[in-house]
Amino acid sequence: MYKITRKKVLAPGVVEMGLHAPRIAKAHKPGQFLMVMNREDSERVPLTIADSDPGKGEVTIVFLEVGRSTIELGEEFNEGDELFAVVGPLGTPTHVEKFGTVVVMGGGLGVAPIYPICKGLKEAGNTVVTVIGYRKKEIMFWEEKLRSASSELIVTTDDGSYGEKGFVTDALRKLHDGGRAIDRVIAIGPPVMMRAVSDLTKPWGIPTWVSLNTIMVDGTGMCGGCRVEIGKESKFVCVDGPDFDAHIVNWDEMFARMKVYTLEEREAILANHECKLHLDNIRR
């Protein structure tokens, strides 16, 4: 069993949790994820490891309540409760070396998973320009945490209620047009945001990496449910990724594959909970 060591609601529908998982905390590298099972008969849900503390034997997850498992985890589980299963760290770690100037972009919930990446890149001697974007001021989280892990932090909100008004892509365009030399871009967030970043940097010729969040079952490479075409080859996101070169991702297929269970999942939510989706809170 895996104890929930702390829980904090960061914004409506956005929950941060600490989990007691000493082995995972010790082995974790930036960019890796874990799988959580709330109860014995629950789904296995992939969540990025947003921080780890090997000393305390603790890892941090931040998640958005979008469907039955994440709503259950956020609403019915509290500090001190135990989860049936937590397994990880899974996936190939983000490639970290000294690139020069790296722009790391987190959209909405993507703000959490970029934290260990920013930290790792900065430790490796890069100038880390972090761009984080939210829909509005009320749902912001981890601003100070990200600032501490970056050389420079830019915040955007869609409605202009905090920081720069606009999307993260607007901020990136401004950096580029302002003549900033950018050696690499890393973007994590909703697929539409990652694709927009990719479309933007492709003509500029800036290497761009994204972290794909396809549907997964086991997360260990045994089912192929997470597969997506990368540069004309089928790849398993859970073992070959989740980080991939954005410019060769087959985005149309990626979007199509995320819809596989939409119908079944909607039914399950309706059967289980009054529909309290917080999807609108976070930019998709």
Partner 1 sequence: MAETIDIAALGGVKEGEKKRPRSKDKRLEIACQTVEKRITNYDEVALGYSPAEAVAESMRCLECPKPRCVVACPVHIDIPTFIGLIARGKFSEAAEDIRQYNALPSVCGRVCPQENLCEAACIINDTNAHNPIAIGRLERFSSDWQLLHQDREAAHVHKKPATGFKVAVIGSGPAGLSCAADLAKMGHGVDMFEALHKPGGVLMYGIPEFRLPKAIVQKEIAYVRSLGVNLECNVVVGRTMPVQEVMDAYDAVYVASGAGFPNMMNIPGENLNGIFSANEFLTRVNLMKAWSDNPAGTPVRKPRKAVVVGAGFTAFDVVRIALRLGAEEASIVYRRSREEMPGRGEEIEHSLEEGAKFILLTNPVKYLGDENGFVRGVVVQKMELGEPDSSGRRRPVPVKDSEYEIECDLVVVAIGQTPNVLIPSQLPGMATRWGSVIKVNRETYMTTVPKVFAGGDAITGAATVILATRAGREAARAMDAYLRDPGRTWNSPA
Ligand X SMILES: Cc1cc2nc3c(=O)[nH]c(=O)nc-3n(C[C@H](O)[C@H](O)[C@H](O)COP(=O)(O)OP(=O)(O)OC[C@H]3O[C@@H](n4cnc5c(N)ncnc54)[C@H](O)[C@@H]3O)c2cc1C
What span, in angstroms and rounded, lies between the C-alpha atoms of 51 and 249? 27
Query: Does the protein bind ligand X through residue 78 (CB under 6 A)?
Result: no
Min CB(132)–ligand X separation in Å: 14
Report the Cα–Cα distance between both ends of the chain, in Å, rounded.
33
User: Which is closer to ligand X, CB of 45 or CB of 193?
Assistant: 45
Q: Does the bond joining 242 to the residue before it have cis omega, within 30 degrees of 0?
A: yes
DSSP string spanning 187-241?
A: EESSHHHHHHHHHHHHHHT--EEEE-----SSSSSSS-TTEEEETTEEEEHHHH-
What span, in angstroms and rounded, lies between the C-alpha atoms of 196 and 252? 13
Query: Does the protein bind ligand X through residue 214 (CB under 6 A)?
Result: yes
Out of 38, 52, 69, 150, name the contact with ligand X by CB under 6 A.
69
User: Which is closer to ligand FES, CB of 106 or CB of 242?
Assistant: 242
Query: Does the protein bind ligand X through residue 228 (CB under 6 A)?
Result: no
Residue 113 interacts with which of ligand X, ligand FES, partner 1, none, CB < 5 to 8 Å by class = ligand X
Min CB(235)–partner 1 separation in Å: 10
Q: What is the dihedral of CA 65, 277, 143, 76, to 10 degrees?
A: -40
What span, in angstroms and rounded, lies between the C-alpha atoms of 203 and 266? 38
Residue 63 interacts with which of ligand X, ligand FES, partner 1, none, CB < 5 to 8 Å by class = ligand X
Min CB(19)–partner 1 separation in Å: 12
E strands, the chain, where? Answer: 2-11, 14-20, 33-37, 45-48, 51-53, 58-64, 82-83, 85-90, 101-107, 127-134, 152-157, 164-165, 184-188, 208-211, 227-230, 233-236, 243-245
Cα 96 to the chain's mean position, in Å?
Answer: 17
Reported residue count of the chain is 284
Query: Does the protein bind ligand X through residue 60 (CB under 6 A)?
Result: no
4: phi > 0 → left, psi -120 to 50 → alpha, else beta; which?
beta
Residue 116 interacts with which of partner 1, ligand FES, ligand X, none, CB < 5 to 8 Å by class = none
User: Which is closer to ligand X, CB of 91 or CB of 163?
Assistant: 91
Residue 214 has, within 13 A of its CA and on its CB side, a CA count of: 33
Query: Does the protein bind ligand X through residue 281 (CB under 6 A)?
Result: no
Query: Does the protein bind ligand X through residue 216 (CB under 6 A)?
Result: yes
Residue 109 interacts with which of ligand FES, partner 1, ligand X, none, CB < 5 to 8 Å by class = ligand X
Query: Does the protein bind ligand X through residue 242 (CB under 6 A)?
Result: yes
User: Which is closer to ligand X, CB of 29 or CB of 173?
Assistant: 29
Coil vs helix vs strand at 91 = coil
* Element at 267 (helix H, strand E): helix 262-272
Interface positions with ligand FES (CB under 6 A): 216-219, 221-226, 236, 238
Residue 253 interacts with which of ligand FES, partner 1, ligand X, none, CB < 5 to 8 Å by class = partner 1
Interface positions with partner 1 (CB under 8 A): 23-24, 27, 37-39, 41-44, 68-69, 72, 84-90, 217-218, 220-225, 227-229, 234, 239, 253, 256-257, 259-261, 264-265, 268, 271-272
User: Which is closer to ligand X, CB of 107 or CB of 127?
Assistant: 107
